Amino acid sequence: MKNYFRAPIVCAASLFLVLPFVNACGIRAAPGNPQAAAPPDLNGVWSAPFTPDISKTLGHQPPFTPYGAARFAKEDEFDDPLTKCLPIGPARGIQAGIMPFQIVQTPSVFTILFENQHTFRIIHTDGRSHPKDVEPTWFGDSIGKWDGDTLVVDTVGLDDRTWLDTAGHEHSDQLHLVERFQKVDNNNIKWTVTFEDPKFFTEPWSITLPIARQNTEIMSYSCEENEKDRAHLRRSKK
């Protein structure tokens, strides 16, 4: 009987002592509880490894539909929208922006500021849904929800003029992106992006890249200021 009464006291005392480590036990505050743990802080300047050809990360070409395969077969880097200073698009900005990006995070919005072309993404984290009719835009409509240590971002309504990478992987305006920004530690994020596009791909496919914190700031950039090299572009395919 003594032990029966003592156990809860010992347990409560132990919990008090280890309160700072309670997260390590997998104990989390219930959703909606005002004491609920705040989502991870991902503010800062970050960069992913430059990945100009996502098929190399995937290990093979994406599961093209016949239409997607035909489009890729005739695509030429000469036609890369970036050569015309058009926006880089949401996922390519992260995996092949060649420049770092800054995350600015508030409870209701998660923004990604790209040094590349000084473009940005706004990801709504206020619980809203996608609009019923989304007009395609360069960065689409993005909503995000925290799932523990991971921000899950859902993006639709993407302009089909963006490319998925420098190698010429394209998509339609039916592209649906699901990204998972999983905080590994203060200096590392595990980023997984899933591409779903019934016009170009027979099934969804994903790549994962490490995103690392950068000891730098976002620098100035302009694509148009003194563009000289478009004149030297050459087609590699007929």
Partner 1 sequence: MTFTYLTNSYGEHEMKRYRLNILAAAAALLLAGIPLRAHHGNASYDNEHPITIKGAVTEFAWTNPHVQIYLDVKDDKGGVVHWSVETYSPGKLVRAGWTKDSVKAGDQVSINLIPAKSGAPVGFLHKLVLPSGKELGLQEQEN
Binding partner 1 by CB under 8 A: which of 72, 77, 146, 178? 77
Long-range contacts of 194-199 (CB under 8 A, 24+ apart): 195/62, 195/91, 195/164, 195/171, 197/68, 197/171, 197/172, 198/65, 198/174, 199/65, 199/67, 199/68, 199/171, 199/172, 199/174
- Which helix (H) or strand (E) covers residue 12, if one does? helix 2-17
Does residue number 71 form part of the binding site for partner 1 (CB under 8 A)? no
9, two tokens = 């006291």
Q: What length is written for the chain?
A: 238
Residue for token digits 């990604």?
A: 112
CB proximity list for 41: less than 8 A, separation 6 or greater: 105
Measured CA to CA, the distance from residue 200 to residue 174 in angstroms comes to 9
Does residue number 220 form part of the binding site for partner 1 (CB under 8 A)? yes
Does residue number 3 form part of the binding site for partner 1 (CB under 8 A)? no
Does residue number 99 form part of the binding site for partner 1 (CB under 8 A)? yes
| Residue 123 Cβ vs partner 1, minimum distance, rounded to whole Å | 21
Q: Near partner 1 by CB under 8 A, which window of 60-68, 80-88, 102-110, 172-180? A: 80-88
Does residue number 222 form part of the binding site for partner 1 (CB under 8 A)? yes
Measured CA to CA, the distance from residue 104 to residue 152 in angstroms comes to 16
By CB under 8 A, the residues from 137 to 166 that bind partner 1 are 148-149, 166
Does residue number 219 form part of the binding site for partner 1 (CB under 8 A)? yes
Does residue number 50 form part of the binding site for partner 1 (CB under 8 A)? yes
Binding partner 1 by CB under 8 A: which of 55, 61, 83, 174? 83
By CB under 8 A, the residues from 181 to 200 that bind partner 1 are 182-188, 190
| Residue 107 Cβ vs partner 1, minimum distance, rounded to whole Å | 20
Q: Which is nearer to partner 1, 186 or 202 (CB)?
A: 186
